[in-house]
Amino acid sequence: MSVNGAIWFMFTSAQQGEVESCTRRKVKRLLSFQRYCHASRLLRGLVPHTPGSLHLLDDDYLGQAGHMLSKVSAWNFDIFLFDRLTNGNSLVTLMCHLFNVYGLIHHFQLDMVKLHRFLGMVQEDYHSQNPYHNAVHAADVTQAMYCYLKEPKLAGQLSPLDVFLGLMAAAAHDVDHPGVNQPFLIKTRHHLASLYQNTSVLESHHWRSTVGMLRESGLLSHLPADMSQDIEQQLGSLILATDISRQNEFLLTFREHLDNQDLDLQLASHRHFILQIALKCADVCNPCRVWELSRQWSERVCEEFYRQGDLEKKFDLEISPLCNQQADTVPAIQTGFISYIVEPLFEEWQRFTEPSLLSQTMMGHLHKNKARWSRLRFTHPTSESQMQPHVEEDPEPEGGGGGGGGGGGGHEEDVP
């Protein structure tokens, strides 16, 4: 067996049935890593499951979760606690709540059974074994997106379709993430890298998986074909914007719009661009959170990096940037990530949303967290090579009305 073959034998050992049914899965589920394997276990009777199991909560816990949802716009919203209170169903519960808040179910005449089926599929397609890229991260990003949609500069300008797209893209932006980055998929010759020609591999997969679940659930089947197709395409545009290799492209365009003062939110194209920026901010905003939550996300994403590095080391592959646990410390990774990715983006977001209490709060946390990670670096000596994350060049006072988003992943598509 070749080295590449051995790597993927190890990496997908829990997904043995994939090869035999590859063609069928490509058609039915667009190359999902997770749901096919889960379904196979269900068919063998190894995992107890009932249709209502997502929502069988203890009354006390349900009450506490409901109380948290009443404060879902608070910047110190604890998504980890909320996930525990909902028995690991934070994404489904949060999305149903927000769809009700915005009246999206009535506006789009959505079938509740189909909506629950779709959201359950999305949540299930996230890999719970990933320390970072899991359904809790998706819920965190969704809650952050909700907070950004509530910004005064945006709230009055957005159409129901804008809100629908923003929340849906946030919930599904990392669906079926394998816990490794694009370079890893490319150098191990994974079929997704070949399928998407080594370009925005993970983001393309997240989008296509979302489209597959939309069609399988029939959530949009009652809408005119041209409308449902437009929704699918716009979801793709939003999810593909989270590719970190396009960071400079989006940042420069955003900065130019702000410098020229030519953003017109009456234009659908400009609102869509702001949704792209908002999703990018939500995806990497964990350094803007209170330290107790930000630190947890930082440790989780670095653990995911280190797992990839260990796998690369095991098979004598070059260890990817940020993935060497012996050389790349959490404080060094986070200091570089904040300096080169988060700060520049949120400085422009603050310019756009000004005056915004939420943006002031986020920037306050960002600067405090950066200083804290910088101090911690003195106890974790590192090399200069760790200072800057690898990014491809592209030719509320507390409670200030926001919601905590998950941070980026440092993995090509979203650095830590």
Token pair for 351: 């310019």
* Residue 163 among known ligand-binding residues: no
Query: Rounded to 5 degrees, what angle do the CA atoms 178, 183, 189 make?
Result: 80
Q: Which amino acid is at 302?
A: C
Per-residue three-class SS string for 329-378 = CHHHHHHHHHHHHHHHHHHHHHHHHCCCHHHHHHHHHHHHHHHHHHHHHC
318 DSSP assignment: P
Distances in whole angstroms, Cα of residue 166 to Cα of each of 76, 224, 320? 21, 20, 32
Whether the CA torsion 194, 198, 199, 200 is positive or negative: it is positive
Q: What is the DSSP string of 288-314?
A: GS-HHHHHHHHHHHHHHHHHHHHHHHH
* Residue 173 among known ligand-binding residues: yes
Place of tokens 């990003």: 141
* Residue 394 among known ligand-binding residues: no
* Residue 34 among known ligand-binding residues: no
* Residue 137 among known ligand-binding residues: yes
Residue 144: other Cβ atoms inside 10 A:
31
Q: Please give the Cα distance from 398 to 396 (Å, whole number).
A: 3
Catalytic sites, residue numbers: 133
Whether the CA torsion 90, 92, 95, 99 is positive or negative: it is negative
Tabulate helix, strand, coil % of the chain (nearest 5).
65, 0, 35
Length of the chain: 416
Q: Which amino acid is at 381?
A: P
Token pair for 151: 């910004």
Cis peptide leading into 344, omega within 30 of 0?
A: no
Q: Please give the Cα distance from 31 to 273 (Å, whole number).
A: 29
* Residue 135 among known ligand-binding residues: yes
* Residue 225 among known ligand-binding residues: no
* Spatial contact of 330 and 302, defined as CB atoms under 8 Å apart: yes
Distances in whole angstroms, Cα of residue 215 to Cα of each of 68, 212, 229, 268? 32, 5, 11, 25
Binding residues: 133-137, 173-174, 283, 334
Task: Give the residue ranges of the annotated binding site for Zn(2+).
Answer: 137, 173-174, 283
Residues in binding site for AMP: 133-137, 174, 283, 334
